[in-house]
Structure 1
Amino acid sequence: MQKEINKESIVTIKIATPDDAEELQKIYKKYVKNTAITFEVAVPSVKEFRDRITNTLKTYPYLKAVYNDKIIGYCYASKFITRAACNWSVETSIYVDEDYKQLGVGSKLYDSLEKILKEQNITNLNACISYPKIEDEYLTKNSENFHEHMGFKRVGEFHNCAYKFNNWYNMIYMEKIIGDHENNKEPIKTFDEVREIVKEKYNIY
């Protein structure tokens, strides 16, 4: 059942820590077990989640949405391609507790993520999205619609590239340009290098 957010309470965006691993894993577990939104078929352990958060934060932001002391969603950035020439491009990922969807939580998370990535000199956001040939109980086109709402545009599609729940699914790539592609581009900054700026400008900590 979808929950309602009390307008007197505020959804706050904060930096996730490895100690949040268990709560984040609970959100992700439902996506793995019940949907084709993620192509993972085995639920990562809490330890694996902790390691993922730790490794992500070495370079990129990992954010959580908190409502009444409960984590109701999270998002993060990761390397798009490991080659150094692609350092200015990242892949974005987002998961919202299914009880709190369509309440603006995802938009708030992505808005904050984008602000931080701009401070890091990132120029390109790329989203790798599971896509149904025909919508079914495991996968709809909601992810594509959400990313379109956030300013992403579809740039490519891979066909029948994933098999889950006895169905073949496609994958689409969507991108959003958030920076200038000038020559002599400054190197990207790590998340730690912009952490204090993010705290002061956007009150995210």
Structure 2
Amino acid sequence: MVRSFKTEDTQQLLDIYNYYVVNSVATFDTEPVAFEVYSEKLHRINKAYPLIVFEEDNTILGFAYGSKFRPKPAYNGTVEATVYVKHTAHGKQIGTILYTKLLSLLKQQNFHSVMGVLTIPNDASVKLHEKFGFKQVAELKEVGFKFGKWQNVGFWQLNFN
């Protein structure tokens, strides 16, 4: 079931996120994020953008949200989309289900452009974005340093109109 974020979801979302902090380059956080810091981030996002979770048997298996792309006012019609699926729940189409709902909500809120910012290579995330019509518009070489190696970042873009 996909539903809106509730405050009591914070720990489960943090657990999903911190797994990726410690075990992957999907995020450029390099140390596990504290509960208070993550809670503040989620509440800030939830005030202005959709923040949704995929829940099954009272367990959150994934979440997705929109967030500010850049701080200058001219970017207000552009939003960054983010999705995380619990590492033990891959292959169940949870990312697809979440992105279907998230993109619908972002379109309803009249955003013009949605950006996916991905550490690459990342075949699963690339396939997810391209399934929804995102096109790669940029690749930044060696812009993030994690796990002793410089990482590349790709930008995928979807315009609604």
Aligned mate of 1:153, from 135, 138, 150: 135
Offset at residue 129 of structure 1 (A): 0.5
Offset at residue 141 of structure 1 (A): 2.6
For the residues of structure 2 that align with 1:165 and 1:54, how far apart are their CA atoms? 29
The equivalent residue for 1:142 is 124
The equivalent residue for 1:194 is none
The equivalent residue for 1:35 is 24
* TM-score, normalising length: structure 1: 0.76
Q: Which runs of 5+ in 2 are unaligned?
A: none
For the residues of structure 2 that align with 1:83 and 1:69, how far apart are their CA atoms? 39
Q: Aligned to 2:99, what secondary structure does the other structure show?
A: helix
The equivalent residue for 1:126 is 115
**Partner amino acid, structure 2, of 1:75:** A
Contact kept? 1:89, 1:122, Cα under 8 Å = yes
For the residues of structure 2 that align with 1:54 and 1:163, how far apart are their CA atoms? 28
The equivalent residue for 1:13 is 2
The equivalent residue for 1:186 is none
Q: Aligned to 1:25, what secondary structure does the other structure show?
A: helix
- Structure (1 or 2) with the greater strand fraction: 2
The equivalent residue for 1:88 is 77
Q: Aligned to 1:158, what secondary structure does the other structure show?
A: strand
For the residues of structure 1 that align with 2:88 and 2:8, how far apart are their CA atoms? 22
The equivalent residue for 1:173 is 155
Contact kept? 1:21, 1:47, Cα under 8 Å = no
Offset at residue 23 of structure 1 (A): 0.5
Contact kept? 1:61, 1:76, Cα under 8 Å = yes
The CA RMSD measured in Å over matched residues stands at 1.1
Contact kept? 1:124, 1:177, Cα under 8 Å = yes
**Partner amino acid, structure 2, of 1:80:** F
How many aligned residue pairs are there?
161
Runs of 4+ in structure 1 off by over 2 angstroms are none
The equivalent residue for 2:40 is 51
For the residues of structure 2 that align with 1:118 and 1:127, how far apart are their CA atoms? 15
**Partner amino acid, structure 2, of 1:83:** K
Q: Which runs of 5+ in 1 are unaligned?
A: 1-11, 133-139, 181-205
For the residues of structure 1 that align with 2:128 and 2:101, how far apart are their CA atoms? 16
Contact kept? 1:64, 1:74, Cα under 8 Å = yes
For the residues of structure 2 that align with 1:85 and 1:169, how far apart are their CA atoms? 29
**Partner amino acid, structure 2, of 1:56:** I
Contact kept? 1:65, 1:74, Cα under 8 Å = yes
The equivalent residue for 2:144 is 162
The equivalent residue for 2:52 is 63
Offset at residue 145 of structure 1 (A): 1.9
